[in-house]
Amino acid sequence: MSEDPSIPSSSSSQMSEDDDRSPPLDLIDGPIPSSKSRNCSGVSGSGVGTSVENTVPYPDQVLENVLENVLCFLTSRRDRSSASLVCKSWYRAEALTRSELFIGNCYAVSPRRATARFTRVRAVTIKGKPRFADFNLMPANWGAHLAPWVSSMAKAYPWLEKLCLKRMSVTDDDLALLAESFAGFKELVLVCCDGFGTSGLAVVVSKCRQLRVLDLTETEVMDDDVDWICCFPESQTFLESLMFDCVECHINFEALEKLVARSPSLKKLRLNRHVSIGQLYRLMVRAPQLTHLGTGSFNLSEGMAQGDQELDYVSAFAACKSLVCLSGFREILLDYIPAIYPVCSNLTSLNLSYANITAEQLKPVISQCHKLQSFWVLDSICDEGLKAVATTCKELRELRVFPVNAQEDAEGPVSEVGLEAISEGCRKLRSILYFCQRMTNAAVIAMSKNCSELVVFRLCIMGRRRPDHVTGEPMDEGFGAIVMNCKKLTRLAVSGLLTDRAFSYIGKYGKLVRTLSVAFAGDSDLGLKYVLEGCHKLQKLEIRDSPFGDTALCSGLHHYYNMRFLWMSSCSLTRQGCWAIARELPRLVVEVMKSNEGEEEGDNFDTLYMYRSLEGPRDDIPQFVEILRPGI
Amino acid sequence: MGFDETELRLGLPGGGGGGVRDGDQVIVMRKRGFSETESDISTDTSTCVDLKLNLSSNSKEANSTGGKDGSAEKSKTNKEKNNNLDFPASDPAKPPAAKAQVVGWPPVRSFRKNMFTAVQKSTNDGESEQMNKGGNNNAVLVKVSMDGAPYLRKVDLKMYKSYPELSDALAKMFSSFTIGNCGSQGMKDFMNESKLMDVLNGSDYIPTYEDKDGDWMLVGDVPWEMFVESCKRLRIMKSKEAVGLAPRAMEKCKNRS
C-alpha cells in the first residue's frame, strides 16, 4: 500500500497511480498504422499517401493540417485516445502530434509497435512490475526489462528528452545506451526501479550534457564504488532537479558542493542520508533559491559532537524564501528541529516519515504549517500528534501515516481517534494512507462524511482480519460508507475483518473506483463477483490471501479487456479456472507463478497475474513463470 | 458475536487466560507467569496444567514424580492446546495459528521496515556508523584516481593479497582508458619491489599512494601488508609528475629498515 511520494510536480504526477487515465480499448481495437507514408511537415497540400482509399483530395488535407495544429494542444491521454478513434485521418494526425507516450504496462504493447505508431515522441513513461512486487510477493527477475525499450527508442526517437520509469528493471548498459543515444536528453525519473548501480548514473550524468532532471525515488542503486557526482560536466549545468535521497552509497561531498555552486537553475535537491547537517548547511548557503529540499540525515557527521560546529542553521533556512517542500530527516537530531521554523509557514509539503518523533516534538513545527497540503509522518506522533495536525492544517489534501513498527502484533500508537480528528479538522482531504492497529467503523464513517473530496482512501489495519475493536463487528460498514459518501473515490485499499457485504457495497457504490487493493478479506466467491460486476471503471485489481475462486474469476470475463491487470495471490484459484480465462480471452496474457522456486509442477500455484496485451506471451519469462496459452 | 468463535485464541485447555487477539503463540506463552499456573491448580487436569511445582513438603518426591508426569501432562496439554485452537473450518484461506510473519504484510516497503533498527542503533550509539565504516568489517576502502580518467573508483585493499592481484584489478578497472606503456605487465613489474627503479623510467603511468603521513609514495616499495595498513588512497599518475617521488620513496624505505 506504500507508494511513491506524490509531491505535486509534473514528473511524479504522471507516475501516480491515482492520476492514471489509461485509454480503454484503443490499443486493442485501434488499427496498426497503415503503410501510407506521409509528408512530415504536412503543410503542403499534396499528400504522399498511396493508400487505396485516398479518394477525397485537397479539402481532406486541409482538415488534416488543421487537425494536427489543434491536436497539439490536446494533452490528456484519454482525449487523445478518443480523437484517434474518430477515423483514420484523425488517427494519423493524433499519432503524429503525440509527443508524450504513456505505457501503463510494458508488456501490453511492444516497443516496435509503439514507436511505429507514434513517431514524434519526446517524452516516454513506462511502468513495469505490478505493485505487489514491492512487498516481496514476486521473485526477482520477473521481467519488466528496459532494454528492448531503450534499443527501439534509440532508433525511433533520437531527439528523446524525457524518460520516466516505474518498477522497471534497468541495467547499467541500458543507461549507457540511453546516454549514448539521446543527445538532447533532459529528464530521467526512476521510481521504484532497480538493477543498476552508480556506474550507470556516472555514464548518464557525464554524457547527457543537457540534463535538467535526475530524480531517483525509492529506487535501489548498487554501490559500484563509482563517484558519479564527479562525473557531471565541469562547466555550468542545466540542473533543475537532483533527487538521490534513496541512494544508499556515500557520495563525494566536495564534488557535490561544487556541482551545486555551478547549477544556477537548481530548484529541487534531495540529499541522501550520508549528507550531514553541516554539509547541508554549506549547500543551502549556495542554493537559497531551492523550492524542494531533502535534508539528508539532519544529523552531525560521525565523530562530531554537538558544539564542535555551531552553524547558523536557522539563517540558512530563513534564506530559502522559496522553499515549499521539505523532506529528509533521515537520522534526525531533535535539537536541530527549530532550524526549520522559518520555512514552516510557507510549506505546502512536509515529509517527516523518517523521523521518529513524538507529538510534543511535532507540535512546535506543525502549529506553524498553515499552508500544508501534503504531510507524510510516522505513527510515533500518536493520536495526539494527529490532533495537532487537524488543528492547524486546514488545507491538507494528502496525509500518509507510516508505522514505526511494521508488525502485526505491535502496540499501535495511532487509532480511530487520530483518524476521526483528522476528518474533523482537514475537510479538504483528498488522499489518505493510514497504518494502524485498531480502528472502528464509526471513525471511518465519520471520515466518509467529513471528507467528501476523498479520491484515495487506503486504510491498513495491520493485524489481519481485525474487527472493529469497539463493537467487534466487521469493518464492512466503514468501507461501505466510504464508497457511498465519497463520490469522487477512484482508489481504495481495504483491510480488517471484511465479509462479502463489504464487497457488495464496493460493487454497488464504487462506480468510479479504478484501483482496488484487497488482502485477507471476504468470505466467498460472491465478494469478488460483486466487485467485478459492479465496478465498471475498475482498471487495477490486486488481491492476496482471500477466498475467491474460479467462479468468481469467471464473473469478470466481460471486463478484463478493460483492465490494466488483475493480480491474485494465495487465493482459491485453480489452474483450470485460469485456463478457462485464457481460452475465452485470447488477448489476455495469463501468467501463473510460484513464489518458491523449485517446487514441483502441479496444480498448485501461488499467483495469477493477467493483463491485456497486443503482443501475446512475452518471450522473457523466467523459470518460475508459466503463461497459459491456448493451443494453436 | 460469531467472531468470538472464529477468533484465534491461544490459551491452554479450558480457555484460561490466553491472548484475546490474533497473536503469536510464543508471545502468549511468555506472558503467562508461574503465578497464573499455580493458582489454576485443581484436580481437573483437563482444564488446567498441573506443573507439579514444588509446593508440597515432600519436595523431592514431588519433583521426581513431577518430572515424569509433567512431561506426560505436557504432551497431553499440547494436544489439547492444538485442538482448542479454533480453526475456522469454513474458511480455508485463513492461516494456521502458529505463524511467522507473513510475507509482504503489512504492506510496508522493506527500506522502511529495516530503517528503524538502523536508525535506532545510530541514535543510541553514535559510534556505530563509524565502526561500520572503519575497522569493524575489515574493508579497507581507498579511492583510486587516474590522471585523465573521468571519475574515481574505489577498491577494497583487503580483497587482494599481493601487489600483482591489485595491479590486475586496477588494470581491469581502468582498462577503458589508454594506459599506454603501463599495461598489466608493466604494472606488475612496477610493483615488483626489485624491479622498481628499472621500470620507473619506462612507463607512462605510475601507481602512487598517499600514506598515513600524507606523503606520496610509489606503490610497491613496501611489503604488501605494510602497504595495506598505511595506504590512504591511490593515484595513478603520469610518469612525468612522479619524478620527485622515487628518491623519497627510497629514503623512506631506508629509514624504515
Q: Does B26 touch chain A (CB under 8 A)?
A: no
What confidence score (pLDDT) does residue B149 get?
Answer: 65
Q: Where are the alpha helices (DSSP H) in A252-354?
A: 253-261, 277-286, 313-318, 341-344
Q: Does A434 touch chain B (CB under 8 A)?
A: no
What confidence score (pLDDT) does residue A63 get?
Answer: 77
Q: Which residues pair with B15 in a beta bridge?
A: none
What confidence score (pLDDT) does residue A167 get?
Answer: 97
Q: Tell me the chain B residues in contact with residue A302 when contact means C-beta distances shorter than 8 Å.
A: 126-127, 129-130, 133
Region A226-240: mean pLDDT is 96
Which three three-digit cell numbers place residue A434? 493510514
Q: Which residues pair with B206 in a beta bridge?
A: B237
Residue type at position A424? E
Site of grid cell 581507498:
B142
Better-scored residue on pLDDT, B1 or A45: B1
Going by C-alpha positions, the residue among A357, A323, A353, A328 that lies closest to residue A341 is A323
Low-confidence winner among A111-115, A269-273, B88-92, B212-216 (lowest mean pLDDT): B88-92
Strand, helix or coil for residue A294:
strand
> What band does A598 get if pLDDT is binned at 50, 70 and 90?
low
> What band does B125 get if pLDDT is binned at 50, 70 and 90?
very low
Would you say residue B49 has pLDDT above 70? no
Which three three-digit cell numbers place residue B97? 495459528
Quick check: is A69 in a domain? yes
Residue type at position A435? F
Which three three-digit cell numbers place residue A71? 491536436
Q: Rounded to 5 degrees, what angle do the CA atoms A575, A580, A491 make?
A: 85
- Cβ of A460 within 8 Å of Cβ of B154? The answer is no
Residue-averaged pLDDT of chain A: 90
Helix (H) or strand (E) holding A2: none
Among all residues of chain A, which has the CA nearest to that of B122? Answer: A331
d(C-alpha B11, C-alpha A211), whole Å? 63
Strand, helix or coil for residue A561:
helix
> What band does A276 get if pLDDT is binned at 50, 70 and 90?
very high
Give residue A67's domain range. Answer: 63-93
Quick check: is A9 in a domain? no
> What band does B102 get if pLDDT is binned at 50, 70 and 90?
confident
Would you say residue A506 has pLDDT above 60? yes
Region B62-67: mean pLDDT is 37
Among all residues of chain B, which has the CA nearest to that of A330? Answer: B119
What confidence score (pLDDT) does residue B158 get?
Answer: 85
Low-confidence winner among A94-103, A122-131, A150-159, B171-180 (lowest mean pLDDT): B171-180
Region A275-301: mean pLDDT is 96
Please report, for the domain that includes residue A71, its CATH number.
1.20.1280.50
Quick check: is A51 in a domain? no
Among all residues of chain B, which has the CA nearest to that of A466? Answer: B22
pLDDT digits (tens, 9 = 90+) for A42-81: 333 333 444 444 555 566 777 778 888 888 888 899 999 9
Which three three-digit cell numbers place residue B182? 603501463
Would you say residue B108 has pLDDT above 70? yes
Quick check: is A282 in a domain? no
Region A286-313: mean pLDDT is 86
What confidence score (pLDDT) does residue B37 get?
Answer: 38
pLDDT digits (tens, 9 = 90+) for A163-209: 999 999 999 999 999 999 999 999 999 999 999 999 999 999 999 99
Better-scored residue on pLDDT, A427 or A225: A427
**Three-state SS annotation for A304-322:** CCCCCCCCCHHHHHHCCCC
Q: Tell me the chain A residues in contact with residue B119 when contact means C-beta distances shorter than 8 Å.
A: 330-331, 354, 356
Residue type at position B232? K
- Cβ of B103 within 8 Å of Cβ of A136? The answer is yes
Q: Tell me the chain A residues in contact with residue B116 when contact means C-beta distances shorter than 8 Å.
A: 356, 404-405
d(C-alpha B101, C-alpha B103), whole Å? 6
pTM for the model stands at 0.71
**Complex prediction ipTM:** 0.83
d(C-alpha A591, C-alpha A610), whole Å? 6
pLDDT digits (tens, 9 = 90+) for A315-359: 999 999 999 999 999 999 999 999 999 999 999 999 999 999 999
Quick check: is A83 in a domain? yes
d(C-alpha A261, C-alpha A255), whole Å? 10
How many Cβ atoms are within 10 Å of A100's Cβ, its own excluded? 16
- Of B112, B122, B152, which has the smallest distance from its Cβ to A331's Cβ? B122
What confidence score (pLDDT) does residue B208 get?
Answer: 87
Spatial contact of A57 and A45, defined as CB atoms under 8 Å apart? no
For A569, phi and psi rounded to 5 degrees? -125, 145
What confidence score (pLDDT) does residue B214 get?
Answer: 83
Q: Which residues pair with A399 in a beta bridge?
A: A375, A432
Would you say residue B143 has pLDDT above 70? yes
Q: Tell me the chain A residues in contact with residue B113 when contact means C-beta distances shorter than 8 Å.
A: 406
What confidence score (pLDDT) does residue A332 get?
Answer: 94
Which residues are CB-neighbours of B48 under 8 A, at least 6 positions away? B12, B13, B14, B16, B37, B40, B41, B42
Better-scored residue on pLDDT, A40 or A624: A624
What confidence score (pLDDT) does residue A21 get?
Answer: 44
Q: Tell me the chain A residues in contact with residue B110 when contact means C-beta distances shorter than 8 Å.
A: 136
What confidence score (pLDDT) does residue A333 get?
Answer: 93
Going by C-alpha positions, the residue among A13, A33, A139 that lies closest to residue A96 is A33
Residue from B4, B103, B109 whose CB has the most chain A CBs within 10 Å, to mutate = B109
Which three three-digit cell numbers place residue B177? 582508458
For A476, phi and psi rounded to 5 degrees? -60, -45
Spatial contact of B22 and A408, defined as CB atoms under 8 Å apart? yes
Strand, helix or coil for residue A196:
strand
d(C-alpha B150, C-alpha A218), whole Å? 28
What confidence score (pLDDT) does residue B100 get?
Answer: 54
Would you say residue A296 has pLDDT above 80? yes
Ranges A151-160, B170-179, B210-219, most confident:
A151-160
**Three-state SS annotation for A127-165:** ECCCHHHHHCCCCCCCCCECHHHHHHHHHHCCCCCEEEE
What confidence score (pLDDT) does residue B144 get?
Answer: 82
What confidence score (pLDDT) does residue A57 get?
Answer: 53
Going by C-alpha positions, the residue among A321, A376, A383 that lies closest to residue A352 is A376
Low-confidence winner among A82-91, A252-261, A399-408, B66-75 (lowest mean pLDDT): B66-75
- Cβ of A135 within 8 Å of Cβ of B115? The answer is no
The alpha carbon dihedral of A279, A282, A286, A291 has a sign of positive
Q: Does A404 touch chain B (CB under 8 A)?
A: yes
- Of A353, A404, A545, which has the smallest distance from its Cβ to B93's Cβ? A545
Would you say residue B179 has pLDDT above 50? no
Q: Tell me the chain A residues in contact with residue B107 when contact means C-beta distances shorter than 8 Å.
A: 1-2, 134-135, 460, 519
- Domains identified in chain A, total number: 1
pLDDT digits (tens, 9 = 90+) for A535-580: 999 999 999 999 999 999 999 999 999 999 999 999 999 999 999 9
pLDDT digits (tens, 9 = 90+) for A9-33: 334 444 544 444 444 334 433 443 3
> What band does A381 get if pLDDT is binned at 50, 70 and 90?
very high
Spatial contact of B34 and B49, defined as CB atoms under 8 Å apart? no
Our measurement of the distance from residue A196's CA atom to the centroid of its chain's CA atoms, rounded to an integer in Å, reads: 20
Would you say residue A471 has pLDDT above 80? yes
CATH number of B141-238: 3.10.20.90
Ranges A118-132, B3-17, B74-88, most confident:
A118-132
CA-based R_g, chain B, Å: 35
What confidence score (pLDDT) does residue B25 get?
Answer: 37
Q: What is the DSSP string of chain B?
A: -THHHHS--EEETTTEEEESSS--HHHHHHH--HHHHHHT--S-TTTS-----TTSS-HHHHHHHHHHHHHHHHHHHHHHHHHHS---TT-TTSPPSS--PPTT-S---HHHHHHHHHHHHHHH-THHHHHHHTTTT---EEEEEETT-SS-EEEEGGG-SSHHHHHHHHHHHTTTS--TT--HHHHHHHHSGGGHHHHHTT-SEEEEEEETTS-EEETTSS-HHHHHHHEEEEEEEEGGGGTTHHHHHHHHHHHH-
What confidence score (pLDDT) does residue B161 get?
Answer: 84
Q: Tell me the chain A residues in contact with residue B93 when contact means C-beta distances shorter than 8 Å.
A: 520, 545-547, 570-572
**Three-state SS annotation for B78-91:** HHHHHHHCCCCCCC
Would you say residue A290 has pLDDT above 90? yes
User: How close, in Å, is residue A392 to chain B by CA atoms?
Assistant: 27
What confidence score (pLDDT) does residue A308 get?
Answer: 60
d(C-alpha B256, C-alpha A377), whole Å? 58
- Cβ of B23 within 8 Å of Cβ of A246? The answer is no
Interface of A with B in 149-188 (CB under 8 A): none
Residue-averaged pLDDT of chain B: 56
- Cβ of B151 within 8 Å of Cβ of A302? The answer is no
Would you say residue A481 has pLDDT above 80? yes
Quick check: is A68 in a domain? yes
Which residues are CB-neighbours of A4 under 8 A, at least 6 positions away? A12, A15, A16, A166, A191, A192, A217, A218
Could you tell me what percent of chain B has a pLDDT over 70? 29
What confidence score (pLDDT) does residue A65 get?
Answer: 81
- Of A132, A463, A466, which has the smallest distance from its Cβ to B104's Cβ? A132
Spatial contact of A303 and B130, defined as CB atoms under 8 Å apart? yes
> Is the backbone peptide bond immediately before B107 cis, with ω within 30 degrees of 0?
no
